[in-house]
Chain A
Amino acid sequence: MSAPTANEVRPVTTTPDDAPEPTRRGGVGGLVEAYALVALTVGLVLLFSLLPSTSETFPTAANLQISLADKAILAVVALAVLVPIVAEVWDFTPGATMGLASVFAAKVVSETDSILLAVAVACAVGIAIGVINGLLVTRAKINSVIATLGMTILISGVVQWVTSGNSIVDGIPTGLTDFGSRNLLGIPVVVFVALVLVLAVYYVLRHTAYGRYLYALGSNRSAGRLVGIPVERLTMSTYMVSGLLAGIAGVLLLARTGAGNPAVGPGYTLPAFAVVFLGAAAITPGRWNVGGLVTAVLFLAALNSGLNLAGASGFVNDLANGTALIVGVGLANLFAHRRGRTLEIK
């Protein structure tokens, strides 16, 4: 019997590294870090429900319906931003693509009166933009930030060209606008649509091999190729998924506003990024995740509707949203640092 090797002497459960750092994820600190944003959202809801100036209007079914329906579209655009980011390629087009899709859908529906065709066209427009983005990044090897930024500007140009800068308001069938304003079981239908998409993206990212491969690409592209992941094909697919989601968002936008407005789309991009970044600091901190995204959307919904009802001017919302993003990610970083690691949002 020979002497045991170094490995056998040590139980499997000891701290693994030569430099055992206190980096455990569990524990109270981990919970605080993961659910701080949830707690903050609940706090905001309580605050506005009790505050004299908003306690009459904030905790009402009508306000809930309006603020959720408002943010449902933002949530879908944020999903479109999220999917490519998981694989560490960037997509700045979702807002503009949504605008383009809604304008095309409005044109089609006003001329043919077919809602189904309009939906199909919006989705097709979204996927087409996704394919172009994907080709630029995987084939032409253009940096994804630059390629999709260029596409954003280009799409805005196309939208102005197609609409001559005017909203398409005539001939939008009431069937479509009803869909945008109707409630089901007291909850706006658009919220249900967003919820279905949220669950679908969550399922794909968390519970399928495809999702795991995307996180793998986000973590180390070269290693991904060397375990047989079809890197280019997956990258292309994330842009197509992103485009499809933006296309659906375009239909929701049209249904909700009853107009193909050429000016609305691009304005959603930055808030969508804010939601994705803020969300990466919640639920599973340091990882792009759908749960955090939803939390961030709800947080903004509570914050913005509360501020509006309290009579704050429009610019206050921007001030609050920007501050929330910086402080939120900053605090998450600080927590992570205190506990011996850095929050690398990847």
Chain B
Amino acid sequence: MSASAEREATREVAVRARGVTKSFPGTLALDDVGLEVAPGEIHALVGSNGSGKSTLIKVLAGVYAADAGELQVGDSTYDLPAFTPALATSCGLHFVHQQPSVFPDLTVADNLAVGRGYDTSWLSRISARKVRARAERILERFHIDARWDDSLRNLRPGTQTMVAIARALQDQEEASGGLLVLDEATAALTPAEFETLAAALRRYSAAGQAILLVSHRLEEIVGLADRATVLRDGRRVATLTREKLNYDALVEHIVGGALDAAVPRQAAPRRLGVPVLEASGLRGGSVRNVSVSVGQGEIVGVMGLAGAGCSTLMRLLFGAQRLEAGTVKVDGQELHLRSPADAIRAGIAFVPEDRAAFALFPELSVLENLAMATPDCGRTGRLRHRRELSKVRTDLTRYQVRAQSPSTPISQLSGGNQQKVVMARWLRRSPRVLLLDEPTQGVDVGARAALWGALRMATETGTGALVASSDAEELAQLCDRVVVISDGEVVRELADTPCSAEQLEHAVYNGAVAR
């Protein structure tokens, strides 16, 4: 800490952006925003969707031309309206994005070489020896737990992200120049994977690397960042120093209000009705033996380390993956799940983990996406467009979806709003059982509150919900009961509400250790 305090005193700066202003037709996305990152500092950039966070990153990357502002990197000063991606790269700004753009089928060595050019010998032949030697040097330098010839696909997501970081930084001889920007690069990581990455980031920063961390996961930031800059509505509302950097303060600045408004907490334990979902002895994929039941109006959490089988359990219950053994009952009726269509008919709904891959129809409109599970046809089979439109408008208001119009392509909405549409798609069927897999991954605090609100609203009408999440805080606040899964089996059930996030984390790690 003393080292960073010293730096603070000398006002040494790796990167300083000043007076950044950027407007889009009808919106002032960035209004005179400033940002300073010191060498060896891990600086967090936070804000809800629409705060201007992504726009600022894109300005720094040279993707958007700012209306005004300047950028100082080391001793050079650049005019931001004339900044380009090429300039960004040459002055040492390195970006690693949410989906690290690695090539899953290529080896680590290939991934490292692709962006920068292969070492070649005579006749442009790729020199396998040199490429390999370089890869091994880099893996060692960045302490990455992988071999040069591993396929990226076979590495854990956290390690993949570290390879992406190493690729971004590989040409810097000393790890002190420029700025490493992690743009939601941690969103897909489990807590354990994040810890590995965090340890690596601390090492890099100790070596003098300036790091800008953009993340929705505030707990991560609290544990990792030296300072945090909060944006709201295109303005910098605060830069919190280490001492003032805590969860409640961040939320307060992000939302512009007190904590309770943003994160509705569970009031009293509710009385629970008869079971709507009873599953016993489930086996299939990574699930070896899981029994779970959900009562009417109950929210049951499912938690486990990566690969424990939480997502598989969801897919089994929805008929999306073959059930090798076990029974699933909804309202006492046993189901024969051969496909998702069977599950849907029985009143089960599923919001899958990876929105883009499994839930969205990116080219289709908000309306088409929202109505996909409930097309409104007359007896002739003709879609009743006008009625659909008015119902969709009602839903957009009810679930607080921010969209230009129902005919906007869904790909133009922010992640949080896309997720609200996916949620609304299912809730309008009034499902008996709602399966949610990582429902708030990569969405901001405000959208998360809206999604939770929607879930609560559904449970009040008797829907039972099963929520898989790697966010202990979320489950602790949301659930009546949490089932902990390890290695495909239920290892604990925490029924005493409210159980704390710490209790949950402990249960998850202990469950894993006990095996």
A residues bordering B, Cβ < 8 Å? 2-10, 12-25, 207-210, 212, 215-216, 218-220, 222-230, 286-287, 344, 346
Task: Tell whether A16 pairs with B417 under 8 Å between CB atoms, given A9-B256, A219-B363, A223-B360.
Answer: yes
Distance, CA A55 to CA B344, complexed state (A)? 63
- Judged by a CB distance under 8 angstroms, whether B90 is at the interface is no
Q: Is the CB of A16 within 8 A of B256?
A: no
Distance, CA A346 to CA B318, complexed state (A)? 28
A279 to chain B, nearest CB (A): 16
User: How many interface residues does B have (CB within 8 Å)?
Assistant: 68
- Judged by a CB distance under 8 angstroms, whether B26 is at the interface is yes
A254 to chain B, nearest CB (A): 32
Q: Jot down 25 A-B pairs with beta carbons below 8 A, ordered by A.
A: A3-B261, A5-B261, A5-B449, A6-B444, A6-B446, A7-B402, A7-B447, A12-B397, A14-B26, A15-B27, A18-B51, A18-B53, A20-B27, A20-B55, A24-B404, A207-B383, A208-B383, A220-B357, A220-B361, A223-B359, A225-B339, A225-B340, A226-B350, A228-B341, A229-B341
B322 to chain A, nearest CB (A): 13
B113 to chain A, nearest CB (A): 28
- Per a CB cutoff under 8 Å, which of A7, A12, A16 touches B449? A7
Distance, CA A57 to CA B58, complexed state (A)? 58
Q: Which residues of B contact A208 (CB under 8 A)?
A: 377, 381-383
- Judged by a CB distance under 8 angstroms, whether B274 is at the interface is no
Q: Which residues of B contact A3 (CB under 8 A)?
A: 255-258, 261
Q: Is the CB of A226 within 8 A of B352?
A: yes
Task: Tell whether A10 pairs with B412 under 8 Å between CB atoms, given A17-B49, A209-B377, A215-B368.
Answer: no
Q: Is the CB of A10 within 8 A of B50?
A: yes
C-beta contact mask, B48-76 vs A, less than 8 Å → 1, else 0?
11111111001000000000000000000
Q: Is the CB of B372 within 8 A of A227?
A: yes
Q: Is the CB of A20 within 8 A of B447?
A: no
Q: Which residues of B contact A215 (CB under 8 A)?
A: 361, 363-364, 368
Q: Which residues of A contact B24 (CB under 8 A)?
A: 15, 20-22
Q: Which residues of A contact B372 (CB under 8 A)?
A: 212, 216, 227
- Per a CB cutoff under 8 Å, which of A17, A216, A218, A224 touches B50? A17
- Judged by a CB distance under 8 angstroms, whether B425 is at the interface is yes
Distance, CA A256 to CA B400, complexed state (A)? 58
Among residues 36 to 51 in chain B, which have CB atoms less than 8 Å away from a CB atom of chain A?
48-51
Distance, CA A18 to CA B358, complexed state (A)? 22
Q: Is the CB of A19 within 8 A of B55?
A: yes
Q: Which residues of B contact A344 (CB under 8 A)?
A: 363
Q: Which of A15, A208, A216 has the most CB of B within 10 A?
A: A15
Q: Which residues of B contact A8 (CB under 8 A)?
A: 400
C-beta contact mask, B323-354 vs A, less than 8 Å → 1, else 0?
00000000000000001110011000010100
Task: Tell whether A226 pairs with B368 under 8 Å between CB atoms, given A3-B256, A13-B404, A209-B377.
Answer: no
Among residues 232 to 259 in chain B, which have CB atoms less than 8 Å away from a CB atom of chain A?
254-258
Q: Is the CB of B359 within 8 A of A5?
A: no
Q: Which residues of B contact A2 (CB under 8 A)?
A: 257-258, 260-261
A72 to chain B, nearest CB (A): 27
Q: Which of A223, A226, A286 has the most CB of B within 10 A?
A: A226
For the complex of A and B, 6 pairs with smallest distance between CB atoms: A3-B257, A6-B446, A209-B375, A219-B361, A2-B261, A228-B344
Q: Is the CB of A219 within 8 A of B362?
A: yes
Q: Which of A17, A215, A346 has the most CB of B within 10 A?
A: A17
Distance, CA A197 to CA B420, complexed state (A)? 39
Task: Tell whether A12 pairs with B49 under 8 Å between CB atoms, given A227-B373, A344-B363.
Answer: no
B262 to chain A, nearest CB (A): 6
Q: Which residues of A contact B401 (CB under 8 A)?
A: 12
- Judged by a CB distance under 8 angstroms, whether B414 is at the interface is yes
A46 to chain B, nearest CB (A): 33
Distance, CA A21 to CA B320, complexed state (A)? 36
Q: Is the CB of B58 within 8 A of A19?
A: yes
Q: Is the CB of B425 within 8 A of A5?
A: no
Q: Which residues of A contact B476 (CB under 8 A)?
A: none
Q: Is the CB of A15 within 8 A of B340?
A: no
- Per a CB cutoff under 8 Å, which of A16, A23, A223, A229 touches B403? A16
CB-CB nearest in chain B for A230: B341
Distance, CA A218 to CA B364, complexed state (A)? 10
